[in-house]
Structure 1
Amino acid sequence: MATQVNPNIKKKHFIGVPSPLGYVPGLGRGATGFTTRSDIGPARDATDVVDDRHAPPGKRTFAAAHAAQKAKNQEEEEEEEDLNDSNYDEFAGYGGSLFASGPYEKDDEEADAIYEAIDKRMDEKRKERREQREREEIMKYRQERPKIQQQFVDLKRKLSDVSDDMWNSIPEVGDARNKRQRNPRHEKLTPVPDTFLAKAAMSTGHVNALDPRQQHMGGFTTPYPGGMTPGVSTPWGAATEVDWRKIGEARNTLMDIKLNQVSDSVSGQTVVDPKGYLTDLQSMIPQYGGDISDVKKARLLLKSVRDTNPNHPPAWIASARLEEVTGKVQAARNIIMKGTEVCQKSEDVWLEAIRLQPTDIGRAVVTQAVRQISGSVRLWIKAAEIEEEMRAKKRIFRKALEHIPNSVRLWKAAVELEEPEDARIMLSRAVECCPQSVELWLALAKLETYENARKVLNKARENIPTDRQIWITAAKLEEAQKNNDNVNRIVDRALQSLRSNMVEINREQWIEDAEECEKAGSIITCQSIIRAVIGVGVEEEDRKHTWMEDAESSTTHGAIECARAIYAHALTVFPSKKSIWQRAAYFEKNHGTREQLEALLQRAVAHCPKAEVLWLMGAKSKWLAGDVPAARKILSLAFQANPNSEEIWLAAVKLESENNEDERARRLLAKARASAPTARVFMKSVKLEWVLKETEKAKDLIDEGLKHYSDFPKLWMMRGQILEQEGRTDAAREAYNQGLKKCPHSISLWLLLSQLEEKLCNITKARAILEKSRLKNPQCAELWLESVRLEWRASNRQIAQSLMARALQECPTAGRLWAEAIFMEARPQRKTKSVDALKRCEHDAHVLLAVARLFWSERKVNKSREWFNRAVKIDPDQGDAWAYFYKFETQHGTEEQQQEVKKRCNQAEPHHGELWCELSKDIKNWRTKTDELLPMVANNIKNMF
Structure 2
Amino acid sequence: MASGKPNKLAFLSMTAPASYVAGLGRGASGFTTRSDIGPAREGPSAETIAEAQAKRGEEPEFDPEQFQDPDNEVGLFAGTTYEQDDEEADNIYDAVDRNMDARRKARREAREDEELAKHRAERPKIQQQFSDLKRGLSQVSDAEWEGIPEVGNLTRKKRKRDDRMFAVPDSVVVGDRSKTEYTNALDAQQQESGGFETPAESGTLTNFVEIGQARDKILSLKLDQVSGAATNVSGTSTSVDPKGYLTSLDSVVIKSDAEIGDIKRARMLFDSLVKSNPKHSPGWIAAARLEEHAGRMVAARKLIKAGCDQCPKSEDVWLEAARLHQNSDAKVILANAVQHVGQSVKIWLAAADLEHDNKSKKRVLRKALESIPNSVRLWKETVNLEDSAQDARVLLARAVEVIPLSVELWLALARLETPAKAKAVLNKARKAVPTSHEIWIAAGRLLEQETAPQAPEANGDAMKTLELVDKTIEAGVRELRRHGVLLTREQWLREAEKCEQDGSLRTCAAIVKATATVDIEEEDRYDTWVADADAALGKGMVGTARALLAYALRVFPDRRTLWRKAADLEKAYGTREALDSVLARAVHHCPQAEVLWLMAAKEKWLAGDVPAAREVLERAFVANPESEQIWLAAVKLEAENGELGVARELLTRARTIAGTERIWMKSAVFERQQGRYDPALEVVSTALSKYPKFAKLYMIQGQIHEKRGNRAAARAAFAAGLKACPKDETLWILASRLEEADGRSIKARSLLEKGRLANPQNESLWAEAVRVEERAAAASGGGSQAQAQAKAVLARALQDCPTSGVLWSLAIWAEPRPARKARSVDALKKSKDNPTVTCTVARLFWTERKIEQARRWFARSVGTEQDKDLGDNWGWWLRFERQHGTTEYAEEVIKQCVAAEPHHSPVWQSIAKDDANVGKSTKEILLLVADALQ
1:815 aligns with 2:805: yes
Which residue of structure 2 lines up, in the alignment, with residue 617 of structure 1? 599
Which consecutive residues of structure 2, in runs of 5 or more, have no partner in the other structure? 1-32, 34-198, 208-213, 232-236, 452-464
Which residue of structure 2 lines up, in the alignment, with residue 339 of structure 1? 307
- Scaled by the length of structure 2, the TM-score of the pair is 0.69
Which residue of structure 2 lines up, in the alignment, with residue 899 of structure 1? 891
Deviation at residue 651 of structure 1 after TM alignment: 0.6
Classify 1:442/1:255 alpha carbon distance in 2 versus 1 (closer, same or farther; 3 Å).
Answer: closer
Classify 1:270/1:428 alpha carbon distance in 2 versus 1 (closer, same or farther; 3 Å).
Answer: closer
Classify 1:674/1:316 alpha carbon distance in 2 versus 1 (closer, same or farther; 3 Å).
Answer: same
Which residue of structure 2 lines up, in the alignment, with residue 705 of structure 1? 687
Contact 2:227/2:242 (<8 A) preserved: no
Which residue of structure 1 lines up, in the alignment, with residue 450 of structure 2? 481
Q: Aligned runs of 1:5-20 on 2, under 5 Å?
A: none
Which residue of structure 2 lines up, in the alignment, with residue 747 of structure 1? 729
Which residue of structure 2 lines up, in the alignment, with residue 523 of structure 1? 505
C-alpha separation in 2, matches of 1:190 and 1:905: 82
Which residue of structure 2 lines up, in the alignment, with residue 535 of structure 1? 517
Which residue of structure 1 lines up, in the alignment, with residue 616 of structure 2? 634
Classify 1:869/1:699 alpha carbon distance in 2 versus 1 (closer, same or farther; 3 Å).
Answer: same
Q: Aligned runs of 1:562-641 on 2, under 5 Å?
A: 562-641=544-623
Classify 1:507/1:264 alpha carbon distance in 2 versus 1 (closer, same or farther; 3 Å).
Answer: closer
One-letter code aligned to 2:336: Q
C-alpha separation in 2, matches of 1:896 and 1:368: 69
Deviations 1:32-78 (A, max 9, x none): xxxxxxxxxxxxxxxxxxxxxxxxxxxxxxxxxxxxxxxxxxxxxxx
Contact 2:444/2:472 (<8 A) preserved: yes
Contact 2:228/2:240 (<8 A) preserved: no
Contact 2:878/2:893 (<8 A) preserved: yes
Of the three residues 871, 879, 882, the one matched with 1:890 is 882
1:460 aligns with 2:429: yes
Which residue of structure 2 lines up, in the alignment, with residue 770 of structure 1? 752
Deviations 1:550-608 (A, max 9, x none): 22223223333332232222222222222222222222222222222222222222222
Classify 1:494/1:286 alpha carbon distance in 2 versus 1 (closer, same or farther; 3 Å).
Answer: same
Of the three residues 451, 460, 468, the one matched with 2:420 is 451
Of the three residues 835, 838, 856, the one matched with 1:845 is 835
Deviation at residue 711 of structure 1 after TM alignment: 1.5
Which residue of structure 2 lines up, in the alignment, with residue 362 of structure 1? 330
Which residue of structure 2 lines up, in the alignment, with residue 684 of structure 1? 666
Of all paired residues, the percent bearing the same amino acid is 48
Classify 1:567/1:766 alpha carbon distance in 2 versus 1 (closer, same or farther; 3 Å).
Answer: same
Which residue of structure 2 lines up, in the alignment, with residue 136 of structure 1? none
Contact 2:497/2:544 (<8 A) preserved: yes
1:871 aligns with 2:855: no
Range with greater deviation from structure 2 (622-631 or 454-463): 454-463
1:506 aligns with 2:488: yes
Deviation at residue 654 of structure 1 after TM alignment: 0.6
- Any idea what SS the aligned residue of 1:382 has? helix
Range with greater deviation from structure 2 (355-364 or 597-606): 355-364
Contact 1:788/1:803 (<8 A) preserved: yes
One-letter code aligned to 1:668: L
C-alpha separation in 1, matches of 2:801 and 2:343: 77
Contact 2:631/2:654 (<8 A) preserved: yes
Of the three residues 868, 876, 880, the one matched with 2:872 is 880
Deviation at residue 836 of structure 1 after TM alignment: 4.6
One-letter code aligned to 1:685: S
One-letter code aligned to 2:509: Q
Deviations 1:370-415 (A, max 9, x none): 3332222122222222222111111121111112111112211221
C-alpha separation in 1, matches of 2:221 and 2:550: 97
Which consecutive residues of structure 1, in runs of 5 or more, have no partner in the other structure? 1-7, 9-178, 192-250
Classify 1:914/1:394 alpha carbon distance in 2 versus 1 (closer, same or farther; 3 Å).
Answer: farther
One-letter code aligned to 1:713: A
C-alpha separation in 2, matches of 1:670 and 1:184: 122
C-alpha separation in 2, matches of 1:841 and 1:923: 35
Classify 1:260/1:444 alpha carbon distance in 2 versus 1 (closer, same or farther; 3 Å).
Answer: closer
Q: Aligned runs of 1:638-649 on 2, under 5 Å?
A: 638-649=620-631
Range with greater deviation from structure 2 (667-676 or 740-749): 667-676
Contact 1:713/1:749 (<8 A) preserved: yes
Deviation at residue 773 of structure 1 after TM alignment: 1.8
One-letter code aligned to 1:603: R
1:932 aligns with 2:924: yes
Classify 1:461/1:743 alpha carbon distance in 2 versus 1 (closer, same or farther; 3 Å).
Answer: same
Which residue of structure 2 lines up, in the alignment, with residue 427 of structure 1? 396
Classify 1:189/1:534 alpha carbon distance in 2 versus 1 (closer, same or farther; 3 Å).
Answer: closer
- Any idea what SS the aligned residue of 1:521 has? coil
Deviation at residue 292 of structure 1 after TM alignment: 4.6
Which residue of structure 2 lines up, in the alignment, with residue 18 of structure 1? none
- Any idea what SS the aligned residue of 2:486 has? coil
- Scaled by the length of structure 1, the TM-score of the pair is 0.68
C-alpha separation in 1, matches of 2:205 and 2:591: 122
Classify 1:518/1:256 alpha carbon distance in 2 versus 1 (closer, same or farther; 3 Å).
Answer: closer
- Any idea what SS the aligned residue of 2:869 has? coil
Which residue of structure 2 lines up, in the alignment, with residue 440 of structure 1? 409
- Any idea what SS the aligned residue of 1:873 has? coil
1:408 aligns with 2:400: no
One-letter code aligned to 2:913: K
One-letter code aligned to 1:704: T
Deviation at residue 455 of structure 1 after TM alignment: 2.5
Classify 1:696/1:499 alpha carbon distance in 2 versus 1 (closer, same or farther; 3 Å).
Answer: same
- Give the CA RMSD over aligned residues: 3.5
C-alpha separation in 1, matches of 2:850 and 2:330: 57
Which residue of structure 2 lines up, in the alignment, with residue 717 of structure 1? 699
Deviations 1:478-531 (A, max 9, x none): 233342243222222212211111222422222222222233232332222222
Contact 1:320/1:331 (<8 A) preserved: yes
Classify 1:296/1:749 alpha carbon distance in 2 versus 1 (closer, same or farther; 3 Å).
Answer: farther
C-alpha separation in 1, matches of 2:245 and 2:487: 73
Classify 1:502/1:334 alpha carbon distance in 2 versus 1 (closer, same or farther; 3 Å).
Answer: same
- Any idea what SS the aligned residue of 1:768 has? helix
One-letter code aligned to 1:680: R
Q: Aligned runs of 1:88-107 on 2, under 5 Å?
A: none
Classify 1:356/1:822 alpha carbon distance in 2 versus 1 (closer, same or farther; 3 Å).
Answer: farther
- Any idea what SS the aligned residue of 1:711 has? coil
Of the three residues 637, 641, 650, the one matched with 1:668 is 650
Which residue of structure 1 lines up, in the alignment, with residue 762 of structure 2? 780
Which residue of structure 2 lines up, in the alignment, with residue 374 of structure 1? 342
Which residue of structure 1 lines up, in the alignment, with residue 439 of structure 2? 470
Classify 1:768/1:525 alpha carbon distance in 2 versus 1 (closer, same or farther; 3 Å).
Answer: same
Classify 1:575/1:402 alpha carbon distance in 2 versus 1 (closer, same or farther; 3 Å).
Answer: same
Classify 1:848/1:421 alpha carbon distance in 2 versus 1 (closer, same or farther; 3 Å).
Answer: farther
Classify 1:617/1:381 alpha carbon distance in 2 versus 1 (closer, same or farther; 3 Å).
Answer: same
- Any idea what SS the aligned residue of 2:903 has? coil
Classify 1:805/1:437 alpha carbon distance in 2 versus 1 (closer, same or farther; 3 Å).
Answer: farther
Contact 2:851/2:884 (<8 A) preserved: yes
Deviation at residue 743 of structure 1 after TM alignment: 1.0
The higher radius of gyration belongs to 1
Deviation at residue 764 of structure 1 after TM alignment: 3.9
One-letter code aligned to 1:742: A
One-letter code aligned to 1:474: A
C-alpha separation in 2, matches of 1:457 and 1:909: 53
Classify 1:831/1:693 alpha carbon distance in 2 versus 1 (closer, same or farther; 3 Å).
Answer: same
Deviation at residue 453 of structure 1 after TM alignment: 2.1
- Any idea what SS the aligned residue of 2:308 has? helix
C-alpha separation in 1, matches of 2:581 and 2:438: 35
C-alpha separation in 1, matches of 2:561 and 2:879: 38
Which residue of structure 1 lines up, in the alignment, with residue 906 of structure 2? 914
C-alpha separation in 2, matches of 1:438 and 1:801: 78
C-alpha separation in 2, matches of 1:759 and 1:460: 87
Deviations 1:288-331 (A, max 9, x none): 99855444444444444444434333333334444444555555
